């Protein structure tokens, strides 16, 4: 195919879009609405996963030591916990630091209760705050820490706490949320692809007489097919750019408003580029591929005269 012939096909494809105004409008509208709904659910799903990841990362293990645990024993326990391959970070919290943290949490209302607890009167235990690399490993790591008491009398570790029941429930809920979100996105993607494909087919089928006439006057299959191929690609491209633009602007405004609004200060959404890039690429790919595929399949039906 020569450059001039390819140029002719692009011109014809562009003219077809302009010439068939209402059908073009209907096709682009259908594609845009379908991809907008899909994109909206994709953004929602990405942010739900992002939120669950943030919640899971806050899961930590609190390890409390006996009040009279020798310093060398504390250092040995610290080295053992830090050396575990599943542990991301291990922070020692002395009982003095624990008391300060407690004062900060309770504020002025707790001053009366905490008065006179400094120095030797401090009833708190030294402790470790352990963060794991994978939240799902928290139970296993807690068991390994408890095992450090084996063969020691008295046991230096009083308790290992990570809210077992609550954490297990949390992981089950987040897993369900992820799976449900994935199923919904896949179903919506298939629905969008079906609607877009059928819309493109209807657009081409409305001009079946034109295709048959071209075939009767001696036009080759490729000569007939290429303009429709380009037209389908342009319809898919335009129909996907519109929802991408709307979703990008809307998400940008949402991020800006949540940063300024104190009432939702604790809500953290996924960064703009980490959302728009994958969503935009996916919507653009679906629009182009289905546009080209729908037009090619539809034209092929009328090439046999």
Of the candidates 65, 58, 43, the residue with the CA atom closest to the CA atom of residue 185: 43
pLDDT at 281: 92
pTM attached to this predicted model: 0.66
pLDDT at 242: 92
Q: Which residues does the chain have with pLDDT short of 50?
A: 262-265
Do the Cβ atoms of 303 and 218 come closer than 8 Å? no
pLDDT at 191: 76
At 196-213, the pLDDT tens digits run 667 666 666 666 677 677
pLDDT at 203: 65
Q: What are the structure tokens assigned to 128, written together?
A: 């470790």
- Rounded-to-integer distance, Cα 11 and Cα 166, Å: 63
pLDDT at 263: 45
pLDDT at 245: 93
- Rounded-to-integer distance, Cα 72 and Cα 75, Å: 5
pLDDT at 105: 67
Do the Cβ atoms of 62 and 266 come closer than 8 Å? no
Whether the CA torsion 27, 28, 33, 34 is positive or negative: it is: positive
- Rounded-to-integer distance, Cα 151 and Cα 153, Å: 7
pLDDT at 112: 56
What's CA 103's distance to the chain center, in Å?
38
Contacts (Cβ under 8 Å, ≥6 apart) of 28: 235, 238, 239, 242
Helical ranges in 107-207 per DSSP H: 111-114, 138-146, 164-205
């Amino acid at each position: 195919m020569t450059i001039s012939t390819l140029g002719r096909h692009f011109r014809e494809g562009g003219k077809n879009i302009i010439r068939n105004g209402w059908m073009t409008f209907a096709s682009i509208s259908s594609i845009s609405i379908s991809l907008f709904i899909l994109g909206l659910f994709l953004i929602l799903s990405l942010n739900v996963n992002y939120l669950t990841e943030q919640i899971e990362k806050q899961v930590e293990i609190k390890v409390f030591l006996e009040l009279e645990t020798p310093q060398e024993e504390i250092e040995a326990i610290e080295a053992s916990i830090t050396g575990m391959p599943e542990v991301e970070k291990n922070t020692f919290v002395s009982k003095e630091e624990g008391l300060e943290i407690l004062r900060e949490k309770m504020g002025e209302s707790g001053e009366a209760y905490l008065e006179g607890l400094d120095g030797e009167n401090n009833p708190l235990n030294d402790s470790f705050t352990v963060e794991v690399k994978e939240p799902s490993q928290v139970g296993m790591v807690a068991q390994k820490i408890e095992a450090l008491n084996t063969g020691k009398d008295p046991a230096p570790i009083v308790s290992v706490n990570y809210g077992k029941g609550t954490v297990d429930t949390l992981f089950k809920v987040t897993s369900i949320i992820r799976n449900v979100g994935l199923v919904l996105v896949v179903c919506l993607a298939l629905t969008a692809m079906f609607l877009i494909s059928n819309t493109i087919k209807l657009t081409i089928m409305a001009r079946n007489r034109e295709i048959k006439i071209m075939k009767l006057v001696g036009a080759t299959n490729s000569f007939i097919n290429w303009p429709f191929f380009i037209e389908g690609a342009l319809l898919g491209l335009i129909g996907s750019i519109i929802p991408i633009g709307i979703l990008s602007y809307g998400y940008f405004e949402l991020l800006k408003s949540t940063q300024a609004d104190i009432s939702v200060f604790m809500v953290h959404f996924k960064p703009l580029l980490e959302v728009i890039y994958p969503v935009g690429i996916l919507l653009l790919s679906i629009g182009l591929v289905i546009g080209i595929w729908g037009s090619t399949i539809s034209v092929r039906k009328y090439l046999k005269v």
